[in-house]
Amino acid sequence: MTTGVDLGVPATQAIRSDEDVVRVRQLVRTTAVAVKLSLVDQTKLVTAASELARNTLIYGGGGTAEVITVEDGRRRGVRIVFADQGPGIPDLDRAFTDGFTTGGGLGLGLSGARRLVDDFDIWTVVGEGTRITVTKWSR
């Protein structure tokens, strides 16, 4: 795990426990502050990261979160890639339906996380795992 933020250099955090989910939140917050995201955008990104890290742990059996700063020529942002080698998501449309849950929660994890970030991309194959990439840009 990398605790500091070196802009442009990815920091990877293993996700194997609840404590690791907290570490992901801390790393994302530190990185969001470093790229000068607004307090509101920091909170949105940290909330999305927390949901996705928890999903990586619970449904994917653990994995990693890679956090990196990005630029598109006009603005800076934070990109996070969550990856696991779990069972995959068999029905993505259903998984993105508000209220759908397989774990007894509120069912707002994936759909809620998608609404909190600017860019959201998901790759999943049943039996191989899931990779979700999210980006939050400065305003």
Q: pLDDT tens digit string along 48-66?
A: 999 999 999 999 999 999 9
Residues 6+ apart with CB under 8 A from 44: 116, 117, 136
For 25-52, the pLDDT digits (tens) are 999 999 999 999 999 999 999 999 999 9
H-helix or E-strand spanning residue 135:
strand 129-137
Q: Residue 34: is it exposed, middle or buried by C-beta count within 10 angstroms (0-12/13-18/19+)?
A: middle
Residue 104 clears pLDDT 60, i.e. is over it = no
Query: 114 pLDDT band (50/70/90 cuts)?
Result: very high
Q: What is the pLDDT of residue 96?
A: 77
Q: Cα–Cα distance between 84 and 17 in angstroms, integer?
A: 14
Given a cut of 50, whether residue 92 has pLDDT beyond it is yes
The pLDDT of 67-84, averaged and rounded, is 95
What are the residue boundaries of the structural domains of the chain, listed by start?
A: 11-137
What's residue 106's pLDDT?
Answer: 43
Q: Residue 83: is its pLDDT beyond 50?
A: yes
Cα first-last separation, the chain: 29
Record: fold of 11-137: Heat Shock Protein 90 (3.30.565)
Task: Fill in the DSSP letter of residue 100.
Answer: -
41 or 1, greater pLDDT: 41
